[in-house]
């Protein structure tokens, strides 16, 4: 989230796409309802915030929304695109913000083009783009600044009239997203869409603000990255980024998914979103030149790009202290450099190819998570060894005796290591709003269970001993890794939290801000975005000044509660908050200030800006200090499948793309099976006429709650939701057993016949049904044990396609084709 949970109550309009917060984040949803019940919020003269929910399924979120739009899954680029078009065509954008706080005025190079669904530079043979034309026209000599972080000044036209200005290119691009086209793609009736567009359009007024809330319903698509960007573009032209009550707010699904993303349990980054180095980068300077954003305006601070090397060197010093010296580029060679994408599906893809020997699954069960559970099972069966670390049995620890598999044939050596529960250890969880909250150990470890990090530390120690005794490939980093803990085999989470924050090696004192990190090897920071969380004042994540004393603990009255836990970066509660104030530093809406300039300093939230920089100073930095442009990017060269979002159909779709039927799917979506030479396993409408989408229920969390009897009691058995009209056509009654099949597998579960799902009309006259598939069941857990026969085909992800988003390689869990039949 750019903002945080409590902040949502400041919104006038809440646009919800690809999310169902009333059921998936019920306690967070209270802040939506607070906004709705607040008469000072809302469009026009107020009367309460308006909640607009676009979803294929009518959920409890829809029930509490002011408007529910039945949208076909995977078409939100078109929906957002239609809203963007409406705002641009009717001049409803926030003019001052668009001109000064976005790259609308930047001139794009000649040669940039978009025709028949393809941007300039596409190479069909490699399914990728040469992005050289997705760039700004520049002027004059390179700007001053550190090596690799500067370029020449980008040309701008502040009137926005230049035909190659981002603004005009964007206007042209989106002009195709008329209400009729939106309706044709999404299934939302054009008039209903226009009613929503009018409300959204009003949010371009400086005294109004809208938030966009989304979850994995937007990310789990081959166009996932562009789905999110579409929302961000809408928020930028409405002037809603950086403001309380605004922003792009991802509701994350697991207790510490945010913290462990920040700390880079993710192949493409190092802690703090530093890029993983690539082969060919021999020096730190080469790495920085290839990785850091480049400054394209003299008034752009480009803080991240400018400090990239400081952060990287401080990380290397944290990891390899004495072995990281200027003479060896601070042990830059110790960081492995992947040749190819190494994300989730790639692990099983490599296993299927026989190239993966061992996998460690720690609190994740590949079998259930999928996609394409049957293929994942084949992948696991090809491993030499599998380690599962979990407090409870999982569909992966037990994969070798999954229904239909023969244990004798599976040669994988499997280790099940019982780990401790969250409540048996301390440490921080970072919530969706980036609040790092510390928890205490409540009870001691159960039985023989061990903490995950103590297992890692023991394992590391034993591997190190083996290298010391036997030698082996490049043991240098293993020997050099810093283990600055009282007991290296049992590090305390408190000690690790201190390491993450980092220290000044010359004084030994904890760092207070990442602005002070250096590239000369005198500072450490395990994750620079957490520098400031554990200062000489102590562990700030433990702070508990909460709501019992709002006058003291929430001095701005904006709900920031700055002394409750700690929020990255630097305890800032709303990211990009310089953009919450106008050029002179006055809040766009004085009733909802983020930060404001009081003549000598910025006050309010922790400013995303130098605290004493006078906004009227001609040398003042542009508002978005973290990127090279200094402004929000409507047009960006950082995406693989286009500088502007475009609607592409899911890989399995019920209709050809109404915009460009000859380029129906995302041209850069990654087709794993095709790339590996395996047979194509995508289905078409003739055999699989229904759209399917998967989701979560309130009473379950992924798969672990299959072990919680109370929750199993509330949602006891696997089911799919079937629209009433379709059920009638198929002779399926509520409670009947049905078989749902895709080109990849089948699900045999109970049918829940419902009005919550219904048909949409696409492309003028195509009636399309959606079947809803909760993901929570499998062959492990309380209900599987109670129903051993029924539960054989309960893995929802047996159906999902093995295909990845063009940018993030996120699987397309949320849109695929199936058939359904009654089991007689």
In whole angstroms, what is the distance from residue 661 CA to residue 648 CA?
Answer: 10
For 117-146, letters b (16+ CB in 10 Å) and e give bbbbbbeeeebbbebebbbbbbeeeebebb
Residue span binding other proteins (CB under 8 A) among the ranges 91-99, 182-190, 239-247, 497-505 = 497-505
Q: Which is nearer to other proteins, 535 or 705 (CB)?
A: 705
Hey, which residues between 400 and 419 contact other proteins (CB under 8 A)?
400-401, 407-419
**Site membership for other proteins, residue 425 (CB under 8 A):** yes
Residue nearer to other proteins on the CB measure, 295 or 434: 434
The size of the interface with other proteins (CB under 8 A), counted in residues, is 165
CA distance 625 to 388: 42
Rank residues 105 and 705 by Cβ distance to other proteins and give the closer one.
705
Angle of the 190-201 helix axis to the 179-186 helix axis, nearest 10:
120
Nearer to other proteins, 732 or 798 (CB): 798
| One of 86, 301, 334, 690 touching other proteins (CB under 8 A) | 334
Part in contact with other proteins (CB under 8 A); list of ranges 70-78, 102-110, 195-203, 450-458: 450-458
Identify each DSSP E strand in 269-313 by its residue range.
269-270, 274-275
Of 32 and 119, which has the nearer Cβ to other proteins?
32
Residues 554-583 that bind other proteins (CB under 8 A): 554, 559, 561, 564
Residue 754 to residues 4, 18, 61, 212, 751, Cα–Cα distance (Å): 34, 20, 16, 28, 9
Beta carbon nearer to other proteins, 613 or 796:
796
Residue 339 is a binding residue for other proteins (CB under 8 A): yes
Question: Exposed (0-12), middle (13-18) or buried (19+): which is 759, by Cβ within 10 Å?
Answer: middle
Q: Rounded distance, CA 725 to CA 422, Å?
A: 45
Distance CA 223, CA 219 (A): 8
List the one residue out of 132, 448, 150 whose CA is nearest residue 296.
150
User: 774 pairs with which residues across the strands?
Assistant: 695
What is the secondary structure of 788-823 as a DSSP string?
Answer: TTGGGG--GGGSS--EE-TTT--B-TT-EEEEEEE-
Task: Give the residue, chosen from 135, 500, 726, 760, that forms a contact with other proteins under the rule CB under 8 A.
Answer: 500
Residue 551 as a binder of other proteins (CB under 8 A): the answer is no
Stretch (H or E) spanning 345: helix 344-352
Q: What is the DSSP letter of 695?
A: E
Residues 709 to 728 in contact with other proteins, rule: CB under 8 A = 709-711, 713-714
Could you tell me which stretch among 68-76, 82-90, 131-139, 426-434 binds other proteins (CB under 8 A)?
A: 426-434
The beta-carbon contacts of 485-488 under 8 Å, at least 24 apart in sequence, are 488/457, 488/461
Is 280 an interacting residue with respect to other proteins (CB under 8 A)? yes
Question: In the complex with other proteins, which residue's Cβ is closer, 520 or 785?
Answer: 785
Residues 239-258 that bind other proteins (CB under 8 A): 251-258
Q: What sign results for the dihedral spanned by CA atoms 593, 595, 597, 601?
A: positive
Helix (H, G, I), strand (E, B) or coil at 58: coil
The answer to the question of residue 428 lying near other proteins (CB under 8 A) is yes
What's the min distance (Å) between Cβ of 357 and other proteins? 4
Nearer to other proteins, 447 or 679 (CB): 447
- Shorter beta-carbon distance to other proteins: residue 525 or 581: 525
- Is residue 708 close enough to count as binding other proteins by CB under 8 A? yes
Nearest-approach distance from CB 320 to other proteins, in angstroms: 8
Query: Among the candidate windows 231-239, 430-438, 517-525, 741-749, which touches other proteins by CB under 8 A?
Result: 430-438
Closest separation in Å from C-beta 641 to other proteins: 17
Among 82, 526, 604, 628, contact with other proteins (rule: CB under 8 A)? 526
Q: Please select the residue that binds other proteins; options are 195, 484, 614, 701, rule is CB under 8 A.
A: 701
Per-residue string for binding with other proteins, 382-401, x by CB under 8 A? --xx-x-xxxxx---x--xx
| Cβ atoms of 420 and 451 closer than 8 Å | yes
Give CA–CA dist 284/327, Å, rounded: 12
Cα torsion angle, 508, 511, 515, 517, sign:
positive
**In whole angstroms, how close is the CB of 287 to other proteins at the nearest point?**
12
Angle at CA of residue 290, ends 141 and 173, nearest 5°: 75
Q: Name the strand (E) or helix (H) holding 710.
A: helix 709-714
Counting DSSP H helices and E strands in the chain, the numbers are 24, 33
CA distance 437 to 211: 24
Is the C-alpha dihedral spanning 791, 818, 76, 624 positive or negative?
positive
Contacts 24+ apart (CB under 8 A), 471-476: 476/323, 476/334
468 near other proteins, judged by CB under 8 A = no
429 binds other proteins (CB under 8 A): yes
Q: How far is the CB of 300 from other proteins (least distance, A)?
A: 29
Beta strand 670-671 pairing with 760-762: unpaired
Asked if 496 touches other proteins (CB under 8 A), the answer is yes
The residue within the footprint of other proteins, chosen from 113, 207, 446, 520 (CB under 8 A), is: 446
Using CB under 8 A as the binding rule, whether residue 455 contacts other proteins is answered as: yes
273 binds other proteins (CB under 8 A): no
The CB-of-86 to other proteins minimum distance in angstroms stands at: 32
Q: Which of residues 22-81 bind other proteins (CB under 8 A)?
A: 24-28, 30
Among 270, 581, 595, 738, binds other proteins (CB under 8 A): 270
CA nearest to 482, candidates 545, 525, 430: 525
> Which range in 174-182, 183-191, 465-473, 585-593 contacts other proteins by CB under 8 A?
465-473
Question: Given the complex with other proteins, which of 527 and 608 has the nearer CB atom?
Answer: 527
618 binds other proteins (CB under 8 A): no
Q: Which of residues 759-778 bind other proteins (CB under 8 A)?
A: none
- Nearer of residues 212 and 760 to other proteins, judged by Cβ: 212
Among 123, 207, 357, 520, binds other proteins (CB under 8 A): 357
Minimum CB separation of residue 449 from other proteins in Å reads 7
Helix (H, G, I), strand (E, B) or coil at 563: coil
Binding to other proteins by residue 603, rule CB under 8 A?
Answer: no
**C-alpha 46, offset from chain centre:** 32
Residue 442 is a binding residue for other proteins (CB under 8 A) = yes
Q: Of 37, 63, 290, 423, which one interacts with other proteins (CB under 8 A)?
A: 423
């Amino acid at each position: 989230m750019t903002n945080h949970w409590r902040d949502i109550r400041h919104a006038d309009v809440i646009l919800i796409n690809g999310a169902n917060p009333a059921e998936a984040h019920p306690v967070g949803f209270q802040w939506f309802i607070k906004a709705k019940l607040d008469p000072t919020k809302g469009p026009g003269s107020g009367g309460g915030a308006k909640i607009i929910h676009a979803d294929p399924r009518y959920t409890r979120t829809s029930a509490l929304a002011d408007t529910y739009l039945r949208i076909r899954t995977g078409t939100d680029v078109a929906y957002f695109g239609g809203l963007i078009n409406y705002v641009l065509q009717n001049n409803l954008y926030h003019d001052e913000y668009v001109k000064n706080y976005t790259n609308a005025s930047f001139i794009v190079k000649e040669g940039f083009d978009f025709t028949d669904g393809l941007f300039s530079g596409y190479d069909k043979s490699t399914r990728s783009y040469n992005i050289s034309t997705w760039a700004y026209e520049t002027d004059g000599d390179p700007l001053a600044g550190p090596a690799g972080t500067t370029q020449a000044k980008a040309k701008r036209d502040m009137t926005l009239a230049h035909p190659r200005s981002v603004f005009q290119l964007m206007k042209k691009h989106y002009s195709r997203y008329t209400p009729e086209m939106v309706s044709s793609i999404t299934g939302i009736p054009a008039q209903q869409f226009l009613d929503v567009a009018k409300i959204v359009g009003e949010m371009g007024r400086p005294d109004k603000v809208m938030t966009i809330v989304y979850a994995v319903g937007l990310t789990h698509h081959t166009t996932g990255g562009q789905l999110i960007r579409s929302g961000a573009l809408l928020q930028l032209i409405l002037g809603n980024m950086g403001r309380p009550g605004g922003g792009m707010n991802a509701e994350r699904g697991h207790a510490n998914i945010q913290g462990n993303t920040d700390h880079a349990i993710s192949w493409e980054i190092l802690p703090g979103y530093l890029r993983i180095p690539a082969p060919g980068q021999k020096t730190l300077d080469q790495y920085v030149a290839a990785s850091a954003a480049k400054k394209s305006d003299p008034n752009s601070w480009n803080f991240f790009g400018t400090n990239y090397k400081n952060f990287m060197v401080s990380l290397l010093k944290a990891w390899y202290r004495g072995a990281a010296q200027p003479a060896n580029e601070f042990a830059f060679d110790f960081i492995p450099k992947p040749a190819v994408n190494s994300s989730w599906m790639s692990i099983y893809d490599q296993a299927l190819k026989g190239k993966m020997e061992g996998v460690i699954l720690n609190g994740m069960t590949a079998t259930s998570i999928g996609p394409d559970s049957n293929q994942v099972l084949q992948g696991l069966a090809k491993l030499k060894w599998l380690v599962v670390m979990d407090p409870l049995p999982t569909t992966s620890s037990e994969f070798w005796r999954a229904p239909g598999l023969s244990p004798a044939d599976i040669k994988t050596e499997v280790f099940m290591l019982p780990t401790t529960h969250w409540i048996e250890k301390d440490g921080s969880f970072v919530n969706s709003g980036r609040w790092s909250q510390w928890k205490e150990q409540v009870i001691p470890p159960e039985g023989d269970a061990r903490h995950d990090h103590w297992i890692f530390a023991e394992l590391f120690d034993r591997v190190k001993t083996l290298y010391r005794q036997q030698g082996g490939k490049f043991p240098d980093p293993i020997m050099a890794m810093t283990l600055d803990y009282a007991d290296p085999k049992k590090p305390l989470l408190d000690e690790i939290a201190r390491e993450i924050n980092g220290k000044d090696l010359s004084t030994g004192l904890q760092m207070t801000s990442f602005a002070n990190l250096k590239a000369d090897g005198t500072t450490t920071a395990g994750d620079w975005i957490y520098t400031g969380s554990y200062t000489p004042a102590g562990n700030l994540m433990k702070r508990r000044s909460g709501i019992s004393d709002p006058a003291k603990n929430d001095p701005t009255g904006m709900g920031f509660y700055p002394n409750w836990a700690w929020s990255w970066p630097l305890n800032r509660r709303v990211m990009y908050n310089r953009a919450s104030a106008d050029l002179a530093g006055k809040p766009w809406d004085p009733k909802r200030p983020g930060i404001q300039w009081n003549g000598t300093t910025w006050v309010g939230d922790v400013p995303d800006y130098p605290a004493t920089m006078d906004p009227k100073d001609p040398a003042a930095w542009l508002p978005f200090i973290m990127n090279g442009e200094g402004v929000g990017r409507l047009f960006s060269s950082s995406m693989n499948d286009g500088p502007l979002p475009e609607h592409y159909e899911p890989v399995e779709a019920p209709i050809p793309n109404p915009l460009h039927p000859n380029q129906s799917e995302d041209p850069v979506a990654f087709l794993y099976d095709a790339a590996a030479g395996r047979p194509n396993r995508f289905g078409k409408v003739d055999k699989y006429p229904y759209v399917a989408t998967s989701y979560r229920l309130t009473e379950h969390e992924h798969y672990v709650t299959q072990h919680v009897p109370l929750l199993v009691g509330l949602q006891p058995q696997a089911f799919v939701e079937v629209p009433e009209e379709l059920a009638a056509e198929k002779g399926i009654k509520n409670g009947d057993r049905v078989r749902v099949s895709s080109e990849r597998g089948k699900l045999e579960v109970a049918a829940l016949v419902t009005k919550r799902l219904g048909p949409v009309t696409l492309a003028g006259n195509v009636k399309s049904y959606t079947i809803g598939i909760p993901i929570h069941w499998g062959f492990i857990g309380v209900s599987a044990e109670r129903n051993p026969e029924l539960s054989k085909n309960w893995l929802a992800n047996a159906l999902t396609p093995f295909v990845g988003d063009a940018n993030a390689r996120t699987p397309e869990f949320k849109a695929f084709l199936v058939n359904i039949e009654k089991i007689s």
